């Protein structure tokens, strides 16, 4: 007989429970685009397609794409109600926010739209 996960966690030590929470939190911070849409919004691919004025098939392909234009990614994140911010971590240096694309955010601000914040972090090794 299967046991409820919360019952198994309840039997763990406080340290083990903390480790489980940290792993779950880390997993939520590492989502692909489809998972981002599904976990952070109630939008379907059809909804996003309508917002972007593209087909559902385009959205499906886009969510699986490994390489894309930043402007296209920005439009997709905005359609989800988010805001794209790019930060870079270079070993031995402080985190750096890339500002080259902030004009896109300013154009959206002028339109008066509110947004959640979605951060894309790039690591350079």
Packed helices 70-79 and 56-64: angle between N→C axes, nearest 10 degrees: 120
Q: Which residues contact 95 (CB under 8 A, 6 or more apart)?
A: 87, 88, 89
Parallel, antiparallel or unpaired: strands 84-89 and 118-123: parallel
| pLDDT band (50, 70, 90) for residue 125 | very low
Q: What is the pLDDT of residue 72?
A: 86
Residue with tokens 């998972």: 35
Q: Tell me what pLDDT residue 117 has.
A: 45
Look at 50 and 17; give whichever has higher pLDDT.
50
Mean pLDDT computed over every residue of the chain: 79
Question: Which band of pLDDT confidence, cut at 50, 70 and 90, is reported for residue 92?
Answer: very high
pLDDT the model gives residue 31: 82
Burial class (CB in 10 A: 0-12, 13-18, 19+), 51: middle
Fold of 44-123: 434 Repressor (Amino-terminal Domain) (1.10.260)
Ramachandran bin of 80, using left for φ above 0, alpha for ψ from -120 to 50, beta for the remaining angles: alpha
Mean pLDDT in residue range 74-99: 89
Q: How confident is the model at residue 61 (pLDDT cuts 50, 70, 90)?
A: very high
């Amino acid at each position: 007989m299967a046991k409820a996960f919360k019952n198994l966690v309840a039997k763990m030590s406080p340290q083990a429970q903390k480790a489980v929470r940290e792993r779950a939190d880390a997993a939520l911070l590492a989502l692909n685009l489809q998972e981002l849409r599904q976990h952070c919004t109630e939008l379907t691919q059809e909804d996003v397609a309508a917002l972007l004025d593209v087909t559902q098939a385009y959205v499906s392909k886009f969510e699986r794409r490994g390489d894309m234009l930043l402007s296209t990614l920005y439009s997709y994140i905005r359609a989800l109600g988010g805001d794209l911010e790019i930060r870079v971590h270079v070993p031995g240096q402080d985190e750096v926010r890339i500002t080259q694309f902030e004009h896109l955010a300013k154009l959206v601000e002028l339109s008066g739209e509110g947004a959640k914040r979605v951060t894309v972090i790039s690591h350079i090794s």
